[in-house]
Amino acid sequence: MAEGITELLRGELFLHGADMVGIGDLTELPPEVREGLPVGVCVAVKYPREVIRGIGELPTEEYHNQYNYINKRLDILAKVGAAILGAHGYGAVAQTRAYVDETKLSLAGGENDPSALLPHKTVATRAGLGWIGKCAMLVTKEFGSMIRISSILTDAPLKTAKPVNRSKCGKCTECATHCPARAVTGKSWSVGVKREEIFDDAACERTARERSLKGFGKDVTLCGKCIEVCPYTKMYLDAHDQM
């Protein structure tokens, strides 16, 4: 049963445009952050190669457009996956942008901390898709960090992957060296390391807004420099340049 529903789900998600699909066991995480559901499905969609090549100096309008377009595609993928699982009698929650926003609102002002939301990146590492880079982005061997992700929570008996518990960045400091905000501390991620130990979110957001205004005239939080300089991203781009 597990193999059948797993292959059906993966096949449909790839058919609908996913570039990566990973499935992970979430039972080591607190039940309240995963809606009491034991399994997480992470879906990823990559940026077009030319868009990432184009942000070497500053973020571009096309990068902004693709960011929004991919987010919409990810919402659709999460809903498709949840619908498939639901049609087979399983509980499933699509962690779309609307779901995340509604959950934040329900937690705000109460005893619960909105940071208790389960990040897509945590699902991705539990699903074996990649690790958290020194820039706090998900990094994959296949596409580097030139992807965006979403996730689904479920109680379906899916086949889960071996989780990734440590960074594979090694001694690389490219994102730290090239970060315009100097937001990257250089500390390597492993399970249990807090985001603020490796990354200054406020500095990143402030500088990203400045760069977006300079690059394409909009006050939004987009930079992309850490994506563009990541060696794993460059390996993917270089490999396709040689085809």
Low-confidence ranges of the chain (pLDDT < 70): 1-2, 107-116, 241-243
Which helix or strand (DSSP H or E) is residue 23 part of?
strand 20-25
- pLDDT per position as a tens digit, 71-127: 999 999 999 999 999 999 999 999 999 999 888 777 655 444 445 589 999 999 999
Res 108: pLDDT: 58
Res 112: pLDDT: 46
Res 106: pLDDT: 72
Res 114: pLDDT: 46
Under 8 Å between Cβ of 229 and 178 = yes
Res 121: pLDDT: 97
Q: Which of 240, 178, 228, 242 is nearest to 59 (CA)?
A: 228
Res 105: pLDDT: 74
